[in-house]
Amino acid sequence: MTSRLRSMVFLFCGFLRQTDALRTVIIVALAPLFFSPAFAEDAWRLEKMSHGIKVYSRAVADSPIRAVRGVVKINAALDDALSLLQNIDARPSWDEMCVETYLVDTPAPGIEKIYLHHDLPWPVKDRDMILQTEWKIDTNTGVAHMYGKAVISGVSEFRDRVRVVNAENQWIITPLADGGLELQAVMHADPAGPIPAWVLNWLSVDAPITTLQKIKMILEQPASHNS
């Protein structure tokens, strides 16, 4: 397996799970406990621990695909984490499969539509999506929360890419009493087409670990993400 594949993040961050023989779904893990009904089913099951990162999965109502959740503690300030994750141009620094990203629209204050293009390994077709995101910060707890959902409008489809239209993800950044923060990431998404089992199986658990490792490394080296 190439180092590039090992560096894949969730396609939109990129966690994947294989469905039945006729369908596959990408599970891209990035954020905390979901509050939407789709993530209110079953309990989280620990799948893997590595480099201080825990990856969980759980069943989703009316879906054969399991949602995936990644959790990591980072020695960094909340403002630095927000600066990195809200910086659209910085995304390729932690999402290696992301080869193109830009702001499509700002429909309302605090809400952005972002175009994401991910380069998947041959023979899989590239995936893209328009992700609408909204960030909120609880003024009492200091917890920052991003909710994102794929939308269908904003950028015309491309012949050489498969448009992902069913995806949800969240980031939750929680300041810790003893310093630093906890970053959680969860996502459940349908890539809208077949993906080889070897890609699906690897991305289902190992990709979120790679993604969170990259974010942790960047945030624990101050100023690198602001350059």
The full set of domains in the chain, from first to last, is 3-226 (3.30.530.20)
pLDDT at 223 over 80: no
The predicted pLDDT at position 188 comes to 83
DSSP string for the chain: --HHHHT---BTB--EEE-STT-EEE----SS---SGGG-SS--EEEEEETTEEEEEEEETTEEEEEEEEEEEESS-HHHHHHHHT-GGGGGGT-TTEEEEEEEEEEETTEEEEEEEE-PPTTSPEEEEEEEEEEEE-TTT--EEEEEEEES-SS---TTEEEP-EEEEEEEEEE-TTSSEEEEEEEEEE-SS---HHHHHHHTTHHHHHHHHHHHHHHTSTTGGG-
Query: Which one is predicted more confidently, 56 or 189?
Result: 56
State whether the Cα torsion 12-89-79-112 is positive or negative: negative
Amino acid occupying residue 135: W
Query: Which one is predicted more confidently, 19 or 41?
Result: 41
Dump pLDDT digits (tens) for 61-96. Answer: 877 677 889 999 999 999 999 999 999 999 999 987
Percent above pLDDT 90 for the chain: 50
What's the pLDDT band for 222 if we cut at 50, 70, 90?
low
Virtual CA dihedral for 163, 150, 46, 37, nearest 10 degrees? Answer: -130
Pairing mode of beta strands 24-26, 166-175: unpaired
pLDDT at 227 over 60: no
The predicted pLDDT at position 9 comes to 35
The predicted pLDDT at position 12 comes to 35
pLDDT at 21 over 80: no
Mean pLDDT, residues 144-167: 92
The predicted pLDDT at position 197 comes to 62
User: pTM of the full predicted structure?
Assistant: 0.76
The predicted pLDDT at position 6 comes to 43
The predicted pLDDT at position 38 comes to 46
What's the pLDDT band for 30 if we cut at 50, 70, 90?
very low
What's the pLDDT band for 59 if we cut at 50, 70, 90?
confident
- Round to the nearest angstrom and report the end-to-end CA distance of the chain: 32
